[in-house]
Each structure stands twice: as structure tokens, then as C-alpha cells.
Amino acid sequence: MKLNKEELKDIYKKLIVVFSGILFFFIMTNFSHVRDTFFRYISYIRPILIGFGIAFVANMLMNFYEKQFKKYSKLKNEQINVASMVLAFITLGLIVTFFLSVVLPQFISSLINLLYQIPDLITRFVDRIKDYPISDNVISKIETFVQDIESKNLIERLINLVISQGGFMLQGTMSVISHIFKSFFEGFLAISFSIYMLSGKNRLKRNAKQVLYGLLTEDFADRLIRYYTILYRNSYNFFTGQFLEAIIMGIVVFIGITIIGAPYAMILAVASGLLNIIPYIGAITGAILSVVLISIADPIKGLIFLVFIIVYQQIDGNYIYPKLVGGKVGIPAIWIMVAITIGGSIMGVIGMVVFVPIFATFYMILRDHTYKRLDEKEIDISKK
């Protein structure tokens, strides 16, 4: 019996569903092994991935400069592209230099200072909670914990670990040389790859389209390009908004702590800014961390900062965040939380951030396909 085109198409769809289910079952039952294998192979192309990340961030700046040149200058498109790329890398270099030379040293200094003060902070905390109806057994355990910290020199060990990690104190001269050479080589490859991508991004787009339309059907190639466009737009909007939001949050926290005269301004500002890159839970975690540390040192200042951060969160939630990020990701808050949960379980903190635009892309593709199928079937869900 000869099958027609529609019947073959239906069989292919069913086979794809079956094989997808088998693949999903295999991945879930061997998740740890699959994940380890995946990351091992990913490590082989690490310089390329880093270069892609650099190009992605630099492209944000490049787009900004291109708009300004087209608006205020009469340069040709090629000249605008070159000038924008150069300015983008200069800006990125200045930001990295400022972070490494100013922010990072102060952050490490503040962290070491905080670690030295941990026993004293815990002692103050115990003295304060003694006035409340709390079990003497709980207080006794906390005091024993502080004594163990002091007797075993845990703070000094932790500080030495921070210093050694920050200074790349590897064992052996050959290890140091090997590490430096490897890092330099990977950095050189990553930067070279990012420059190549940005300088020839229009050519790369054209070549990619030639391959897609040459090897695939026109309809399938159109869909792939559309999916890529959605992913890129979601990623660009999300990361641009979150980075700006994180910078603003860090600056606001630093200014707020400095104004009220509370300690740990730099370390809490950096921590709050970095945590704020994670949607929703990052801002809450950063606020709780800041309020707790400040309150242990000075409860009144902790209360003042709590009021300050609540007021800022209201302003941020109603005015700043909607303008910077808002609905740009195109996914409800509940699904963002799902993306954060899944991403965190697979890739840790990085997964919490990266999975949001990826999940948003799958959500939008599935939503559009669902609406299309409902229209084809002429089904009105509101009447069901």
C-alpha cells in the first residue's frame, strides 16, 4: 500500500514523538552521567564559548554606539561598524579594568574584614537574643560554636583560602607557569574569536542562511531562523535589562549603607548587585543578607536599611524594572521561577540566569504553535 504525503508526514511526527520520549527517559534515568559527559565535551570548546559570551556582551555596547553614530554622524556603514566595535571593546576593557583594580580589591578586603569579625558578630548576636525568651540550650550551642571557631583557627584558615584563591597560589613553579600560559592562551583565543564574530557578523549571518536554505527545506529553514531570532531577542533583552538592574541595585545599596553609616558597604553592594542578576529571588536574597549583617552590627541601622530597601524595591518594581526588563522576556513570573529552579538544579547559579531566556524561547514557540493549532481547529477556549 502506497502512503500519500500527508500520511507519511503524520508517521514522521509520531516517530519523532516516540524517539523524543525514549531520549527523554534515557536522559532522566542517566542524568548525572549525561550531565558530566556533556560538560566534559563542552570544556573542550571553552575558549569558543567564552569568546561567544564576550561577543554577546560587546555586541550590546556595539549596537548602542552604532545607533549614536547613525544618529549624529555621516560615516559609512563599514566605518560605523569598525568604530562601534573598537569603542565597544574599549568600554568593555575599561569596565573589566575598573572591576579588577578597584571593586575586586575592596571586595576582598571587606570580605577578609568581615571574616575576622564573625566571632564578634555572633557574640553580639547571642548577647542580644538573651533578652528574648529563647532556650538556654540554643544559646549554649551558639556559644560553643563560637569557641570552636576560635580554638581551631577556622577564620584564619578561611582567610588564607580566600587569599590563596584570589592570588592563584598554586603548588609548584611549573603549575603556576602552566596555569598562566593556559589562561593567557584561552583568553587570547576567546578575544580573537569574539573580534572575528563581531567584525564579520553580517557575513556570518549570510553564510549561516546559505547553509540552512541549501541543506534544509525552505519552510524548516524559515522556522529555525525564526526560533533563533526569538532566542536572541529574549537573551539580549533579558541580559541587558538584568545587567543594568544589577548595576543600579549595587550602587543604590552602596549609597544607602554609606549614608546611614553602616559597615560592609562594598561587600554588600557587590553581593546585592551580583545576586540581582538572578530574577526575583536574587533581589530578595541580597536584601535579607544585607539587613541581617547590618542588624547584627547595629539593629537600629539594620531597621533603617530595611525601610530603605523596601522603599527602593517598590520604586524598582513599579518604575525601574518594568522599563529595563518588564515584559521583554515574554514569559509569566511563574514560568521564570520554574526556569530558575530547573537551571539551578542542572548548572547552579549560572543555570538560574541562562535558563530564563532559553525557557522563555521554548514557552513562546509552544504558545504560538498552540494558538495556531487552535485557530486551525476553530476552537475558542473562552467558550469551553
What are 183-230's pLDDT values in tens digits?
A: 788 888 888 888 888 888 888 888 989 998 998 888 888 988 988 888
In angstroms, the first-to-last Cα distance of the chain is 40
Mean pLDDT, rounded, of the chain: 79
pLDDT of residue 77: 81
CB 87 within 8 A of CB 61: yes
φ/ψ region of 250 (left if φ > 0, alpha if ψ in -120 to 50, else beta) reads alpha
pLDDT of residue 2: 62
pLDDT of residue 171: 47
CB 116 within 8 A of CB 159: yes
Residue scoring higher pLDDT (32 or 205): 205
Rg of the chain (C-alpha set): 26
319 pLDDT above the threshold of 90: no
pLDDT tens-place string over residues 292-316:
888 887 888 989 999 999 999 888 8
pLDDT tens-place string over residues 320-372:
776 666 555 667 778 888 888 888 888 787 888 888 888 888 888 888 888 88
Task: Calculate the CA dihedral of residues 28, 31, 34, 40 and round it to 10 degrees.
Answer: 150
pLDDT of residue 327: 55
Please tell me whether the overall predicted TM-score, pTM, comes out greater than 0.85 for this model: no
Cell 548525572 belongs to which residue?
A: 32
Cell 598562566 belongs to which residue?
A: 180
CB 257 within 8 A of CB 301: no
Q: Where are the domains of the chain?
A: 45-170+179-215, 216-383
CB 232 within 8 A of CB 367: no
pLDDT tens-place string over residues 59-117:
888 988 988 988 888 888 888 888 999 999 999 999 889 888 888 888 787 777 777 77
Tally DSSP H helices, then E strands, for the chain. 15, 0
CA dist list (Å): 244 to 196, 288, 320, 374 = 26, 21, 10, 39
Which grid coordinates are listed for 116? Answer: 575576622
Which grid coordinates are listed for 108? Answer: 576582598
248 pLDDT above the threshold of 70: yes
Q: What is the DSSP letter of 264?
A: -
pLDDT band at 169 (very low <50, low <70, confident <90, very high): very low
Q: What percent of the chain has pLDDT over 90?
A: 10
Which residues neighbour 188 within 8 Å (Cβ) at sequence distance 6 or greater? none
Q: What percent of the chain has pLDDT over 70?
A: 81
